[in-house]
Chains A and B, each alone.
Chain A
Amino acid sequence: EVRLVQSGGGLVQPGGSLRLSCAASGFTLSTYWMHWVRQAPGKGLEWVSRFRVDGSGTDYADSVKGRFTISRDNAKNTLYLQMNSLRAEDTAVYYCARDIHHRRLDPWGQGSLVTVSS
């Protein structure tokens, strides 16, 4: 079964840092582009970041560029999102998701709640 299991998240003060993890099973992470998508409380879905297979790089939404870093550990089959300089507006549930043919996202992880508050 193809699954994504997330860990990390929690309460952090403004300006703080947090790292989210997304462990893949049932497929090899390194052969797929992977994404992070977030959802602020009561709001819709917002794409955050993408890790491309070919090593050509990563992409970020303007709202997180320069503060968030997406990475991958092939040996652990795990995707990460390092979040620095966190702001109140970063408060959201963060989901990892697998990219299918650069068209759709499936499956999704169960989500990790990040709350930025003093």
Chain B
Amino acid sequence: DIQMTQSPSSLSASVGDRVTITCQASQDISNYLHWYQQKPGKAPKLLIYDASNLETGVPSRFSGSGSGSHFTFTITSLQPEDIATYYCQYYDFFPITFGQGTRLEIK
């Protein structure tokens, strides 16, 4: 099975900072990589699909890039409401694999 390694596991940043999270796949997964935001006590929410496509209604400060085995998720200007845990996810028919998550906090 393909393994997803997400880093860092936690991150503390100030409002307005640029934040970057990476996800590394154990082999080439094309662009079958998606990013979810999970706020405390809430269900995960899809933000970015197919590595770089912004889901409808998601603020443009969120973006994703990458292909093959290395992927990046970026928040260009961190806002207080962005406090959450972020997960990458790979799925190509079977199985579904999630990264370990990155817990984002405000300094």
- Chain B binding surface SS class: loop
| Interface size range on B against A | 20 to 34
- If the complex has contacts A45-B87, A109-B43, are A103 and B98 also in contact, measured as CB distance less than 8 A? no
- If the complex has contacts A95-B44, A109-B43, are A104 and B94 also in contact, measured as CB distance less than 8 A? no
A44 sits at the interface (CB 8 A)? yes
Find chain A residues with CB under 8 A from B55 CB: 106
User: How near does chain A come to B78, taking the closest CB pair, in angstroms?
Assistant: 22
B59 sits at the interface (CB 8 A)? no
Mark B residues whose CB is within 8 Å of A: 32, 34, 42-46, 49-50, 55, 87, 89, 91-101
Listed from nearest, the 6 A-B pairs whose CB atoms lie closest are A108-B43, A47-B96, A106-B46, A45-B98, A104-B34, A44-B101
